[in-house]
Each structure stands twice: as structure tokens, then as C-alpha cells.
Amino acid sequence: MNILPQQIALASRRVIWINAILLSLMLLVALGLTWSMKSHQNEAMLYDDASSQVAQARYSTVQIQQYMTDYSLTGDPASLNEARSARDATLTALTELGRLRPEDSGGLTAMRADVGELFAVGERMAAAYLGPGKAAGDAIMKGPKGFDEASAKLAEEINDLNEGIHKGQESDANESAQLISLGQVFLIGLTLAIAVIVLTLLRGMIRNILGQLGGEPAYASAVVQALAAGRLDEVIEVKSGDDASLLSNLRILQHELRASAEAAVENLRIK
């Protein structure tokens, strides 16, 4: 008959090894999720920074239009300086966007050229208003490739850029949510797998122990105590076909002890 402690130790080692493997997988998944979430967090920060620069570019573009219009009406050099500062702020914002979003570098280069063109057309418009007069200024403002058209073109480009950034933000947020859900499902699955494997191994270990005992441990203990006390007439219940368990061997021992005791009594009677 197998030795019970060896069976228990073997089952325990199996439980430990399987749990160690599954826990290692859980750790790898957790590390992978952490790395991915950190990556998405960094991406989200880039999108936020890009959105801020787009807002700055839009605001500064409006400022160019406002101050160039004021300069065209008043001829105040301060308005021209303000328009120039707004132009520089727009170019700075677009340059920073190029650093944040190198994939848009081509479009941003064109936008920087359009900013310069808007300012240049504004200067020509102001010169026309302040020189030849309103008709000449209106022609540059409203005519083909004029101030209004340059302003509308740049505004449309900024809006398209902003829309692309927002779509990227939404996509990144959706990917993060999907990643979190997938990680949660995977971790829950591993946890359930650990629970099922542990319960299965424990069940098998218990069945193995009960099979070697031939019955419940408490009953086997009671039988041993009865034999130790010399009570050899008690019936030891053994399952049909069981000829190798502890209870089966105890019953054989009980029969042998009882036969020996009866033989001893018979010998004493004869004498």
C-alpha cells in the first residue's frame, strides 16, 4: 500500500507548481497591462498637449485677423505689432505641433506657409486701405486669394487638424478601454483556472486518501482504537472489492488476532 504522506506531498507539489505557473502568467499579464496603460497614458498626454497647441494656433490666427483689420482701419503701428506677435505665436504653436505629431509634419509645414501668407496679404490689404483707399482694400480683402480667403483656408486647416486629433483621442481611449476589459477577463479567467485546478487536485488527493484508508478518517481511527483496546468482535465495514485499503488490512489483522486469541484459549482449555 502507498504511503499517505508521500501521496499528500506529491499532490501538494503539483498544486504548488501549477499555481506558480498560473500566478506567473497573471504577473506577466499585469505587467503587460501596466506597460500598455502607461503607453496609452503617455499617448493621451501627447493628444492633450496637441489639442492645447491647436487651440493656441486658432486663437492666434483670429488675433492676426483682428489686429490686421484694426491696422487697416487706423494705421496704428501698435496693431501691426500685435498682429506680428500673433503670427509668431501661431507659428510657434504649429512648430510645437510638429514636434508632438511628426506624422502631420507635411501638413503643418503647409500651414506655417499659409500663416505667413495670411500676414503678408493682411499687410497688402492694410497698405491698400491706408493708401489708395477703401475700394483697393476691399478688393484685396474679398478678392481671389485675398485676406478673407486666406483666413478661411487657415481656419479650415486648423479645424481639420483639430478633428484628426480628437479622432485619435477617441481611438486611444477606446483602445485603452478594450485593453482594460481584455486584461480583466484574462485575469478573471486565470483566477478561475487556478481555483478549478486547485479544487480538482484537492478532490483527487482526498479521493486518493479515502481510497487508501477505505473510508472516512474518523472511522479508520475508531477501528484502530478498537483493535488497540482489544475489541476484536466489532464488525469492520469494508467496501465491496476492497482488498488493499487500510480498513481492509485492519479487518484481516482483526481476523488474525481473533483467530490467534481463540487458538490460545483453546490451548489453555486443552491443558
Q: What is the mean pLDDT of residues 66-91?
A: 95
What is the distance between the alpha carbons of residues 271 and 268, in angstroms, rounded to a whole number? Answer: 5
What are the pLDDT digits (tens) for 29-64? 777 777 877 777 788 888 889 999 999 999 999 999
The answer to whether residue 2 scores a pLDDT higher than 50 is: no
What is the distance between the alpha carbons of residues 254 and 237, in angstroms, rounded to a whole number? Answer: 12
List the one residue out of 209, 218, 212 whose CA is nearest residue 243. Answer: 212
What is the distance between the alpha carbons of residues 141 and 124, in angstroms, rounded to a whole number? Answer: 9
Mean pLDDT, the chain, integer: 85
Cell of 15: 498544486
Q: What is the mean pLDDT of residues 170-183?
A: 80
| Residue 57 · residue 87 · CB < 8 Å | no
What is the distance between the alpha carbons of residues 81 and 71, in angstroms, rounded to a whole number? Answer: 9
pTM: 0.62
> Which of residues 3 and 26 earns the better pLDDT score?
26
Q: How confident is the model at residue 3 (pLDDT cuts 50, 70, 90)?
A: very low
Q: What is the mean pLDDT of residues 153-162?
A: 94
List the one residue out of 165, 151, 152 whose CA is nearest residue 54. Answer: 165
Q: What pLDDT was estimated at residue 58?
A: 94
Cell of 152: 478661411
| Residue 60 · residue 90 · CB < 8 Å | yes
The C-alpha R_g of the chain, in whole angstroms, comes to: 45
What's the residue count for the chain? 271
Query: In 3-state terms, what secondary structure has residue 221?
Result: helix
What is the distance between the alpha carbons of residues 101 and 267, in angstroms, rounded to a whole number? Answer: 107
